[in-house]
Structure 1
């Protein structure tokens, strides 16, 4: 399985945290990322339930003509074990949209080493 782990694009400030939407910059980042990732041919995009992640994931799913699924296991605090459980048995190429510092910690736990995840950052990981 090919996993593309993504940090959501730049979000606007505000409360409550779970309702923070993408900023104008974030919407541009999400579109650009979506266009790049579409070439990878993901069949499924999994996302945290938080709005900024859902908006990022929706842009990717639309550009890639992929399925989109919200998964509580990708909410802030997600672990590599949570992500592996979420992607198990889903598709050959999956995009998972989450948060920091979770993305860096998950990437390291899955053998990708130390990865910086700026907003709309992504890393591809081959899972056995």
Structure 2
């Protein structure tokens, strides 16, 4: 398969899918259990995930993460406000879902005074 590559980065040339093809659950599933307590990835990090997902579809080559980072950053800089806003919306959806998950994980303990106290895990 003849794939055009960026001569500067040696990475296949393509646009990151728009609207984003990543789902909230896909983003959460890529995180470890401990990272579910951290805040959601920002719009740029989700764009980066979308780029990596698309790159894996297009090539089996191992491309240096240093080269990929520079390339993604350059692409992000040139994206429209509409595209950046779509990734921001997705980031907010992930944060909302993380909040729901954290709410379900709240535990109630009885302290020595026999009054309930909430402790988040």
Instruction: Assess same fold via TM > 0.5.
Output: no
Between structure 1 and structure 2, the one with the greater Rg is: 2
Instruction: Output the TM-score relative to the length of structure 2.
Output: 0.24
State the structure with bigger RCO (CA 8 A, min sep 6), 1 or 2.
Answer: 1
Q: Which of the two has greater helix per residue?
A: 2
Instruction: Output the TM-score relative to the length of structure 1.
Output: 0.23
